[in-house]
Homo-oligomer: A and B are copies of this chain.
Amino acid sequence: MAALPLINSERLREHHFCLAAIGATARGGIDRQALTDADTEARGLVVSWAKRRGFALSCDAIGNLFIRRAGVSEGEAAVATGSHLDSQPGGGNFDGVYGVLAGLEVLESLEDAGVATRRPVEVAIWTNEEGSRFSPTTMGSGVYSGAYPLARALESTDGQGVSVAAALGRMRQRLPPCPSRPLGVAPHVYVEAHIEQGPVLEAMGATIGVVTGIQGLRQYRVNVIGREAHAGTTPLRVRSDAFVAARRIAAEAEALATTEGDEARFTIGRFEVLPGTPNTVPGKVTMTIDLRHPDEAALDRIETAVQHLCSTCAAPCVASMETTLAAPPVHFSETITHVVKEVAESLGFRTKAMISGATHDAGFVSRLCPAGMIFIPCRAGVSHNAEEHAEWADMFAGARVLASVLLRLADANEISPPEQTAPAKELK
């Protein structure tokens, strides 16, 4: 296998810096939450680059954007890649954007080299992967794959009461018109490039992570209802302090999660206390729990135990828990992981097979077609943080592997069908 196509590392670097300026924060990261003006501006820039090269654009009902380089055999399903341009409010310059730019770089390099592929090659920009402004996460790929109902996604609102439908409308007004395409069209295969967002590759001295699957994710909302009271007059023993009950539940739930081993990830990222004045005993707390584990049975055990905690540990307050997201563990196509490993090693890169700790759009797309991911190292595993960082050499390496993998798959005849995955659970 030749090392072709050679990607243009200067162009990739230039595109990276152009996007890093959109939504830039004083801390050196970005705040480019889904469907904001900054997210819209970033899309507009990528669209302008795609148009310059004559690539076809299309957009679906949840705002996913597709950039397509035609194949010789246009009737065949596309070989696809992609990721997302939205970020956490305190996000970095690599999460998501790297996969989009690496994908665009593959298309441009194929064009530069005049390579004709049998199948079309497509780059997807998925809407609202982060889920920080609108719940849930991976909304765009979830709707596209049929795991989330479109109508419910469009009704989701941000903290100011703005709906996804309204924010999408605003974005569409500000971008050039784009042909629409239906949801759910299955690519031939999907391979997403992404920074690892964890410390494994760096620690192992490996350049390419061959991602075999994604750990399962569940998100919950816990409401604790107490009774507001005067901080100066109400003895501690007669209080129904929602803060005290919530922090107790938080501590015990985390302790429970850790009994399922080092692989368990337990995070309370949002914790809102009402009324929130220094001299009033809190009457209400709303907190989120983000729980992850590669083993579905372990997730079930922790969930049951935390549910039990809510009913036994909140007194004299009352706690309730609802599931807001339940994504089962994903197992990627063995055919794809085999190709990624083989290509990366033929290019001279050290590889490491691994399970992704983070959720990715590739998880939902794997319900439609054989899918996989290519990870590159990120410094100290730091992500969702302004200090998120990847080395240029690793970014170029990942783009080269992606290019060769897509090229090989675009000309291959057969690929095994997607593995059966469990259906998405009902969401609230």
Contacts and interface: CB of A to CB of B under 8 A. Distances in A.
Contacts of A262: 235-237
A292 B258 CA distance: 37
A238 B380 CA distance: 10
Contacts of A88: 275, 277, 279-280
B266 A236 contact: yes
A29 to B, nearest CB: 9
Contacts of A198: 230, 233-234
A244 B251 CA distance: 8
A379 interface: no
A230 B358 contact: yes
Select the residue from A267, A269, A279 with max chain B CB neighbours within 10 A.
A279
A418 interface: no
16 contacts: A88-B279, A90-B274, A90-B283, A135-B278, A217-B232, A219-B279, A227-B382, A228-B385, A229-B384, A230-B358, A232-B357, A234-B357, A235-B262, A236-B264, A268-B282, A278-B290
Contacts of A269: 231, 243, 273, 275-282
Contact of A385 (B89, B227, B273, B357): B227
Copy total for this chain: 2
Chain A interface extent, by class: 35 or more
Nearest to A31: B275
B276 A270 contact: yes
A177 B390 CA distance: 64
Contact of A268 (B137, B243, B272, B383): B243
